[in-house]
Structure 1
């Protein structure tokens, strides 16, 4: 639903509104440094997983055409540093970072329930369809077409 495109502005309007609401909710965090820690940790995690995926691709498909080829030590070093940025903060602030990990992991059931699962239970499917139609009517949005 968040990937729908506004007919008038050709932008992902539901996604922009959701991000705006999430940003406003973040303003209510009392300590800005906790918020910075959450964001830095999640960003480092995403970068580390992406680089690890690229390294795995490089080893599993060595003949694959790549626009840029670099020495394998560069991404390995970068991955090592990203892992350090993930592990070292746990030594000084383990409780805060465990909350961050819990927030990140809370998205896994949402993904499997709403995105990956094509056959949703009626308890989930009927309100989801209603909400999708409501968003389409209120924001004049359509799903992104696949080409």
Structure 2
């Protein structure tokens, strides 16, 4: 639903409105350093997983054509540093980072309920269809064309 495109502006309007609302909600957090910790932890986690995936590809498919090949020690060192950025903050601010982990893990049930599960229960499917149609009518949006 968030990927729908506005007919008038050709932009992902539902996504922009959702991000705007999330940004406004973040303004109500009293301590900006808490937000910085959440974002830095999330970013380090995403980067570490991406680099780990690239290293796995490098070992599992060594003949695969790559635009740039570097010494394997560079990505391994980078992955080690990313893991340090993930582990070391737990020593000084474990509660804040556990909240960040909980926020990240809250996306797992959403993924399994709404994305991966093709046969959704009617309790989930009917409101989702209604909400999708409502967003399409209110924002004049259509799903992205698959070519």
TM-score norm. by structure 1 comes to 0.98
Q: Give distance in 1, aligned partners of 2:61 and 2:145.
A: 31
Q: How far 1:109 moved relative to its partner?
A: 0.2
Deviations 1:27-71 (A, max 9, x none): 000111111000000010000001101111111111111111111
Q: How far 1:104 moved relative to its partner?
A: 0.5
**Is structure 2 residue 86 aligned with structure 1 residue 86?**
yes
Partner secondary structure for residue 135 of structure 1: helix
Give the alignment's Cα RMSD to 1 decimal: 0.7
In the alignment of these two chains, the number of paired residues is 147
Q: Give distance in 2, aligned partners of 1:26 and 1:18.
A: 12
Q: How far 1:10 moved relative to its partner?
A: 1.2
Unaligned runs of 5+ in 2: none
Q: Give distance in 2, aligned partners of 1:55 and 1:143.
A: 35
Unaligned runs of 5+ in 1: none
Q: Give distance in 2, aligned partners of 1:46 and 1:87.
A: 14
Q: Give distance in 2, aligned partners of 1:71 and 1:7.
A: 47
Q: Give distance in 2, aligned partners of 1:69 and 1:135.
A: 45
Deviations 1:61-98 (A, max 9, x none): 11111111111111111100000000000000111100
Q: Give distance in 2, aligned partners of 1:64 and 1:58.
A: 8
Partner secondary structure for residue 58 of structure 1: helix
